Structure 1
Amino acid sequence: MARRRPKGVLELGWAVIESAATGRAEHVPTDQIYPEDVVRRIAFQAGGGHGWRISALSTPRAKAPPWKIVVITGAPSWAEYWAPALAALPQDREMIVVDRPGFAGSEPVEYVGDIRVQAQALMPLLETAPNQKLLLVGQSYGAAIAALMAANRPARLQGLVLLSGFFGETGPTGRWLVGLGSKLLKWAPRLVPRDLKNAVREVRDQHTQLDHLHEALARLRVPVHVVHGDADDFAPIETAEQLVAETRTRRPMAFRKVEGANHFFNDGPAEMVLELIEDCLPKPVDWKGLGAATWAVVKARLPRFSRARAKPAAATV
């Protein structure tokens, strides 16, 4: 039987430590759980002129489906925690979940603290097949990076989802973890695995880069969906609500509060997180119904002419 992946931020931290000790990039190798034709590990070269090798998990499809969904993960950035959602994805959808630069199977080893550089490096993820539409999802720390990627106006981008977005303010659990991690980095840095070290530095220093996030959101022309759990003790829901209320955008951002949900939507049933993402896809237009409704309005506004016709005048001799 395959080993269970730890859940939650504390167990995730322990998984990172255990993986580093054994030299693995994944805590539970995905290929031991899912066949390669269901969930496949891929790699690509980073954009922006960077020579890094970036690792990701994908859903192989014989033919490009109508929608491609790209997920930019949080900190620490481990795509393997999205494997159940990838496996449960319908065949008419494609999904790619990335290990961001500096995490898991991705290069570099060094810390990449600038979210603009990370956005440049991950732009190749947004390439699509002909006529394929694109939805971009940014999770936690990845939300700000996804916003910068969306601001570059990739072709066929139809929407941006900020899922459990982290926007500089930590909740009780986040403060405790970042505080503990900062102390370890100061007094015993060699004992902290790379992924935990980079995650702590990212979360601790992100507040200095929020101007880039606000600027990116102001330039977006596509719908932006902010989805947040009201039980999130890592990234407070109040911060997400404040972002929606105070950020000037070309079109209003849609906010959805998920009752009882914590910071890790992908820890729950795969169907739940997939349903939340699916709800953010643009709904198809009922052109037939729209045409009938439009004609009814036009017809109601047309002048009403009497059907009675005037009798012809009597002929004279």
Structure 2
Amino acid sequence: MPAGPTATSDEIAGLERGYFALPGGTASKVSYLRAGDPDGRRVIFVHGSPGEAGGWADYLLHVPPGFEYIAIDRPGFGASNPDDAEPSLKRQAAALAPLLQQRSGKWPILVGHSLGGPIIARAAADLSGRIDALLILAGSLDPELERVHPMQPVGEWWGVRNMLPRHLRNANRELLTLKGELDVLQPRLQKLTLPVTIIHGTSDTLVPVENVAFMRRHLAGTKPLTVELLPEQGHFIPWERRDTIERALTVLARR
């Protein structure tokens, strides 16, 4: 199955798109896609690196009754500013803050894939009390498992960087600095207490399944902490296991 949604470009273009501005910082315009019940339980989807909001289109085109789904273009990707990368997990997490709205006494559930995993974990640490639960899909949270490929620094050379498409050059810069960002996040994970569900493929060659052991140790204070390992599943869980993710969301929404 391809690493992307089955939705057509016309279907993605037909989704409602919104924008908001962030005070200060470099992400002056943040773009998102929205679908579902505007008064329903809000679920916010956060893509990895690279990625964009349209990657979650299959979910936004099939929103269950009583839910509102929002997918964000993270700063540096899609229709969001800045043009350059925003490698700070703190500032990436802060970009979610305007979307954290309470509905009928319930705060949003955050879903993060790959690098979106540490971003939503950082959001839970920084914006405590405004997030009800996390769903981490193939999340890259263990700093000791981060490796810089020998060719990645080449992507920062001026001539090479200028030839790369925006999404690739920004993804490269995010990944080059990710280990340091995860080192800062690590001690804060132990203070999280909200419900967390982790879904990871045992055959993930991009974000090793060993990340799960790290998350079990450092998210031990979350209640409950649920882990689902998918045998022979690779990295692209959002597009290959939508049924699994939707079931997990249903369970989290009932807590």
TM-score higher than 0.5: yes
Structure 1, gaps ≥5 residues long = 1-5, 13-27, 284-317
- 1:252 offset after TM fit, Å? 5.9
Q: 2:32 aligns with which of 56, 66, 83?
A: 56
Which amino acid letter does the alignment assign opposite residue 42 of structure 1?
Answer: G
* Corresponding residue for residue 230 of structure 1: 202
- 1:48 offset after TM fit, Å? 6.2
* Corresponding residue for residue 2 of structure 2: 7
Q: How is 1:224-263 mapped onto 2 (pairs within 5 angstroms)?
A: 224-247=196-219, 249=221, 251=223, 253-263=225-235
- 1:197 offset after TM fit, Å? 0.7
Secondary structure at the aligned position of 2:253 is classed as coil
Structure 1 residues 130 and 282: alpha-carbon distance in aligned structure 2, compared to 1, 3 A threshold? closer
Structure 1 residues 264 and 179: alpha-carbon distance in aligned structure 2, compared to 1, 3 A threshold? farther
CA-atom RMSD in angstroms: 2.7
Structure 2, gaps ≥5 residues long = none
Segment drifting more, 142-151 vs 181-190: 181-190
Seq. identity, % = 25
Tell me how far apart the structure 2 counterparts of residues 278 and 93 of structure 1 sit (CA, whole Å).
10
- 1:248 offset after TM fit, Å? 5.1
Segment drifting more, 211-220 vs 190-199: 211-220
Structure 1 residues 269 and 166: alpha-carbon distance in aligned structure 2, compared to 1, 3 A threshold? closer
Secondary structure at the aligned position of 2:96 is classed as helix
* Corresponding residue for residue 129 of structure 1: 103
Tell me how far apart the structure 1 counterparts of residues 241 and 218 of structure 2 sit (CA, whole Å).
33
Segment drifting more, 113-122 vs 180-189: 180-189
- 1:204 offset after TM fit, Å? 2.3
Which structure exhibits the higher relative contact order, with contacts defined as CA atoms closer than 8 Å and separated by 6 or more residues? 2
Tell me how far apart the structure 2 counterparts of residues 185 and 60 of structure 1 sit (CA, whole Å).
41
Aligned length: 249
CA deviations over 1:111-161 (Å, ceiling 9, x no partner): 211111111222112123343442111211111111121122243x32112
Q: How is 1:23-62 mapped onto 2 (pairs within 5 angstroms)?
A: 30=9, 32-33=10-11, 36=14, 39-46=15-22, 52-61=28-37
CA contact (8 A) 1:136 1:150 kept: no
* Corresponding residue for residue 182 of structure 1: 153
Tell me how far apart the structure 1 counterparts of residues 39 and 24 of structure 2 sit (CA, whole Å).
26
Which amino acid letter does the alignment assign opposite residue 20 of structure 2?
Answer: F
CA contact (8 A) 1:41 1:58 kept: yes
Matched, 1:71 2:45: yes
CA contact (8 A) 1:148 1:212 kept: no
Secondary structure at the aligned position of 2:204 is classed as coil
* Corresponding residue for residue 182 of structure 2: 210
CA deviations over 1:231-251 (Å, ceiling 9, x no partner): 111000112222313555354
CA contact (8 A) 1:85 1:266 kept: no
Answer with 1 or 2: which has the greater Rg: 1
Secondary structure at the aligned position of 1:249 is classed as coil
Using the size of structure 1 for normalisation, the TM-score is 0.70
* Corresponding residue for residue 191 of structure 2: 219
